[in-house]
Chains A and B, each alone.
Chain A
């Protein structure tokens, strides 16, 4: 098909043809077209089906406010539903499909819904599908979801990437129409850092769509000239294809830049879109205004558009909406459309004006009256007009422009709860007094609907925002005037007259809402879904409000508006996620032995952001248990090594360092000797255990504190809170050293023999006893730290070197330990050994347990003040019936004792009321040859040897168990001190 509706002129590039397909049919347009303008040029008016009634629909607008012409863009994994054909920039190879249809667009089987419209009015699903309730989920909802709705998802991974970015400026200007351009020019020339953002791909706003002049130039030429000057200013950043989507607190704005949407596919490595976070001192909102339609019977046929859209298509895109165009208006703007089209040789059927004093024209017929109905199944063919004298006229036309006045785009002024106020002069809401701090509104967005007003407003706003002195620059003459509007919202007696075309809300629905008592705007919105579609009612809300006001006998400002919220236009989830998806969802933390562990074939587990070796499978091992059992047995028999770098480390120095530790730990540290390490239990102020670890005293005024891997950050934060907010005069300095040191646990009876070959100093039991710590050197001089501490219960050490040497050290340990068959072990074996030893970990320090529960009640010092010590004395946390940590073993060694299982008395009911406790950590103990668990039991300390049941009704577990000490291995601690 040829471009039958193409006019001369316009701002398209006729030297560049773009081939595209719509619903499988090939068309040609030009660079500078949108999908909508190219389709219209090719005589395609029908572009979609409506949400509920599946009515045939075409474009209503020429901008981002479009409710109707939503298409599925591109194909395959790049398919994107619900894109507005009016904002899709045409490129060669573009692929688009209509959506929300069953069958073809012309013969949509679901158009039957239109016949049943009486059953599908506002709130229909609240009424029709009440009974039986069980049918809702299985029957009603799936049918409604299939019938109603928008485009479909590809259900494939998006192959494109999205970026986030951060920009700073003195002045953000939203919108590059006459007001925005003039503001940018004024601010840019004054040297301010300016960002000028516009959602369009050509700057100039309405100037590109009008024939009016600025000075002796066309508006479009003036805009291009201003943009050219702005481009030369290094302090001005011009951002076309960029929608500012929200005004957030304290001068932060969100903006989506469509970097690659106008390309067939993004260039390699380039993002499709960028979400910018813009920090600005001041903002000028110059977002323009949106024309509003008029409600009359069957006002939704393809070909019926906003008058300003018809003008945009003609003047900017060189497209006539049809061969014959009629206009329905309540102001002078409609006549401007007619004049522009006439000048381009388009036949004007007539201009229908509701005002009694209609302007005359020699070029076309002007009628005083109202459009009362239309005809045309898949596109407009006739408009029926009732003249002022009551007689009827039928106008033959394929397009009808509606001009109901203009609504300033006040959305962003309301993002921080500001409310717009009513302006009688233009019969529209304008920005209220309460704007987001730092915002100034200019041009049509401020209710200044003339070009002269926009230029003046833009320059003034820039001066005001930046506090510039001096007079306004000389502004060029413009050729437009006020539009003399007579408020007119809907034609008397209409019923199926569309207000919200995207959600299929009619005048009748608003009347029904009123009749049924849903009269506040917020109720009206939710009952009828008016304005709840993806266009957020940009073209529809005002009509609904006006009708509700009339029905309620109120004024429009008394009825008020609903709240505008970000985003200004629909925003892809992908761009909100940015790069943080898949493997990049969060950063990884690798331990110093990671590369070596990979070489050993380790299986890794995520612990926070850390990747830790979970176990090291060897040839022939078929299950993880085999590997873990081997690692545990080898460690207890000879020696094992485990990377424990991930434990949090905090360097605590200062003359008050010991006093400080006394505050953060419930047990005492003041008397800890230099060269010694002590276990510490940290409580929250409410007496619940927060974290545990060790503190090694390297000098009188220097400790190294360790935390659990998971709590490294919150514990550090807590320590800073205690230091800065509670004891501000303590001489203590903190810094995290978690990543500064590579640290390995070397455990097992041969650990000393192994380390003796590496450590330069004497580490015999006398020279370096249990819980000793020291700065040492290894391998002939490398600085290192050694701690004789044990999580496994064996003779064990932790050795630390600067991180860069971590890889070398693990290799050295493996080499030196070869004669003892040193075995690397992962977090699973670590877990088995600590359960065998009865050491509490995250499962036990679970945010509900106290020192007493953990069997460490006596550690809480009563002779000093520490965080949590006072509230841990609370009655409810002490006395009869408290939980105590115990060991749990099965009577039948073949039985499991799963964590999460609850302890019940051997004889007695099994229910929540008789719950005795629960198992927190469980494993198979290769040393004991059966499963073991630790857990909490009421009065557990006094119930050793008791036989109980461990039940888990959800998983069907019910086993007989015996309560034991939690220290399954070496309860006397002889191995530790060996």
Chain B
């Protein structure tokens, strides 16, 4: 085992939590991520494996909120798979074994910062951040959009007051600032 200590996207030892009366914004540091892209001519097999893994193949604009692996659609024949980092640190390797030559797997854990925004003010906050029709989204909707000029995924979770935002990790600080600012704005 190595002795290197990971750092959270916001630069801390532990994830940051910001609590307001109307919303809680939590840095979610516990996600392992990897992308799966079907190889040409192997789409069917790839779909079958995805279905086995998640229970269903995520449709365009959708996520499958499954445990422990969940996934959402990123582009044509391309998905992002997420799982708890604690148990799935080597998610990409595991997926590679599962999908074999039917898909291209790319580790994405380090590329993203993840925030969970939970609370009654979540829709109001979202409206100040991005163009997704937040009040029309239902659990399992996953849209890529721009937040503070950053390309982010916005995923509606089962709890109607919960969205998960995945944004580019290098801009975690800027994205966090935008979320906090919006939370103050709608207070």
Contact = CB atoms under 8 A, between A and B. Distances in A.
Direct interface between A and B, CB < 8 A:
yes
Interface of A: 161, 163-168, 268-271, 274, 277, 279, 579-580, 584, 586-592, 594-595, 609-610, 645, 651, 653-655, 701-702, 729-731, 733, 735-742, 777-783, 801-809, 812
Contacts of B178: 579, 584, 587
B135 interface: yes
Contacts of B168: 589, 739
27 contacts: A165-B128, A168-B135, A279-B131, A584-B148, A587-B174, A587-B175, A588-B171, A651-B104, A654-B39, A702-B104, A733-B38, A733-B39, A733-B104, A735-B106, A736-B111, A739-B112, A739-B169, A739-B170, A740-B111, A782-B2, A801-B4, A802-B6, A803-B110, A803-B169, A807-B11, A808-B5, A808-B6
A738 to B, nearest CB: 8
Contact of A731 (B41, B78, B132, B170): B41
Identify which of B7, B175, B182 gathers the most chain A CB atoms within 10 Å of its CB. Answer: B7
Contacts of B4: 778-779, 782, 801, 805, 808-809, 812
A731 B128 CA distance: 40
Contacts of A812: 4
B150 A655 contact: no
Contact of A595 (B11, B37, B107, B150): B11
Which size class do B's interface residues fall under?
35 or more
B170 A781 contact: no
B37 A653 contact: yes
Contacts of B28: none
Contacts of A702: 104
Contact of B7 (A274, A736, A738, A808): A808
A738 B151 CA distance: 14
B24 interface: no
Interface string B1-27: 111111111010000000000000000
Contact of B39 (A167, A655, A735, A739): A655
Nearest to B167: A587
B157 to A, nearest CB: 20
B147 to A, nearest CB: 9
Interface of B: 1-9, 11, 35, 37-41, 78, 90, 104, 106-112, 127-128, 130-133, 135-136, 148-150, 168-175, 177-178, 181-182, 184-185, 187
A741 B110 contact: yes
B130 A166 contact: yes
A733 B177 contact: no
Contacts of A588: 171, 173-174
B110 A739 contact: yes
Nearest to B110: A803
Contact of A739 (B37, B78, B111): B111
B129 to A, nearest CB: 8
B38 to A, nearest CB: 8
Given A739-B168, A804-B6, A277 B110 contact: no
Nearest to A235: B135
A455 B9 CA distance: 56
B111 A737 contact: yes
Nearest to A729: B40
- 8 closest A-B pairs by beta carbon, nearest first, are A269-B184, A803-B110, A653-B104, A587-B174, A733-B37, A740-B111, A731-B40, A804-B6
Nearest to A167: B127
A164 B128 contact: yes
A594 B41 CA distance: 43
A779 B3 contact: yes
B2 A780 contact: yes
A587 B1 contact: no
Given A270-B187, A277-B131, A584 B177 contact: yes
A804 B6 CA distance: 5
B40 A735 contact: no
B109 A740 contact: yes
Contacts of B148: 579, 584, 587
Contacts of B133: 168, 279
Nearest to B130: A166
B177 A742 contact: no
Nearest to B169: A739
B174 A270 contact: no
Contact of B6 (A277, A701, A805): A805
Given A163-B185, A808-B4, 4 more contacts: A166-B132, A590-B172, A781-B2, A804-B6
Given A739-B110, A802-B110, A804-B8, A166 B127 contact: yes
Contacts of B1: 780-781
Given A588-B171, A588-B174, A737 B106 contact: yes
Contact of A804 (B41, B109, B175): B109
Identify which of B106, B108, B148, B177 gathers the most chain A CB atoms within 10 Å of its CB. Answer: B106
Contact of B127 (A165, A269, A584, A803): A165
A653 B149 contact: no
Nearest to B93: A783
A739 to B, nearest CB: 4
Contact of B187 (A269, A580, A740): A269
Contacts of A655: 39-40
A118 B180 CA distance: 59
Identify which of B4, B9, B128, B135 gathers the most chain A CB atoms within 10 Å of its CB. Answer: B4
Nearest to B131: A166
B136 to A, nearest CB: 6
Contacts of B90: 783
Contacts of B7: 592, 595, 804-808
Given A269-B185, A735-B78, A778-B2, A589 B106 contact: no
A780 B3 contact: yes
